Amino acid sequence: MKGLNEFIGILIVLQYLYGICTTDLLINVKNQGGDIFSETITSNVSEDIITLEFQRSDGTLVTQLIDFRNKVQVIKVLVLGEEERGQHQYQVMCFVNYYYKMDFISSDAMSKLRQKNPGTIRIAEEDRGYTNYTMDLFLDATKSKLISKHIVTFCNEAADSTYTRNDDIKQWIQRLGISESLLMTAVHNFTSISVRHPEINNTTRSISVTKCADTSNLWASCSCALELCIGWYPCGLKFCKGKSDGKKIPSTYKCGIKTCKKYFIFSYYSKMKKNCLWDE
């Protein structure tokens, strides 16, 4: 009985600590089309990560994970299928990129935010425009721990559809201080197909992948484009100046957050156009 009480006591302590380290915010956001949707933003200080999740009006579920410790951003997208057009019930893609810290406030700062008016409809103060990502590599999530330990569980439903870029690999190599060959074992290329010509000394020729928007063949492999928008997120802290006292330099203090929205366009390899029907 004593052992059971001690075990329950440990669980209570762990739950308390988890509550301290993890903070959730539920934000009501209005997009450009006037639709209102809810974003859930979770900050985990002990892991130094933030996750942001929302569901679009078409049912698409978007989850963004920021791993500050390893400078990794993962955007996971669950798209509902059009079964009447031969698609599966849903498909999941993961887009893994190098993360620059100036794009989001820290997990610690995020954990300290509180909502005075939870029902308020939020509109971002700053539009950071479009960023294009050409995802030219497949990433094997089971071999991605060198990049971030969170990828393997976060992208477990996207075993054949997790993507990254050569540019991101180069950034992580510099951060980790490891050989390129070691990190490249987790990825493989799909942007071109090498065709051998034995009659010309085994030389190769690259064939570019056609854009899904440019083919009518539903079974053809192609380059798919997916556009997403993070409609509201805390992108920085605001600083105000305190009152100056005589000749003293006015002091500054944190007095709020700056909020932004950002568009992403991911171009990636699709095994068949049938899985990219929105890109028409």
Residue 113 burial (10 A CB sphere; 0-12, 13-18, 19+): middle
Q: Which positions ≥6 away from 263 have C-beta within 8 Å?
A: 129, 130, 131, 227, 228, 229
Nearest in space to 133 (alpha carbons), one of 161, 92, 96: 96
Q: What 3-state DSSP class applies to 203?
A: strand
User: Percent of the chain at pLDDT above 90?
Assistant: 51
Tokens 């990502």 -> residue:
133
Sign of CA dihedral 104, 109, 110, 116: negative
Mean per-residue pLDDT of the chain: 82
- For the chain, give every domain's residue range: 23-275
Q: Which of 76-80, 177-181, 198-202, 271-275 has the lowest mean pLDDT?
A: 198-202
Specify the DSSP class assigned to residue 210. Answer: P
pLDDT tens column, 58-88 = 999 999 999 999 999 999 999 998 877 767 7
pLDDT for residue 21: 56
Cα–Cα distances (Å) from 42 to 30, 50, 52, 150, in that order, read 20, 6, 6, 15
Q: Which positions ≥6 away from 100 have C-beta within 8 Å?
A: 71
Angle formed at CA 81 by CA 76 and CA 86, multiple of 5 degrees: 140
Specify the DSSP class assigned to residue 69. Answer: T
Q: Which residues pair with 41 in a beta bridge?
A: 25, 52
DSSP string for residues in 213-261: GG---TTS-EEEEEEEEEEEEEEEEEEEEPPP-TTSPPPEEEEEEEEEE
User: Sorting pLDDT into bands at 50, 70 and 90, what band is 24?
Assistant: confident
Which two three-digit tokens encode residue 45? 């200080």
Residue 153 near residue 144, CB atoms below 8 Å: no
pLDDT tens column, 29-67 = 987 777 888 999 999 999 999 999 999 989 999 999 999
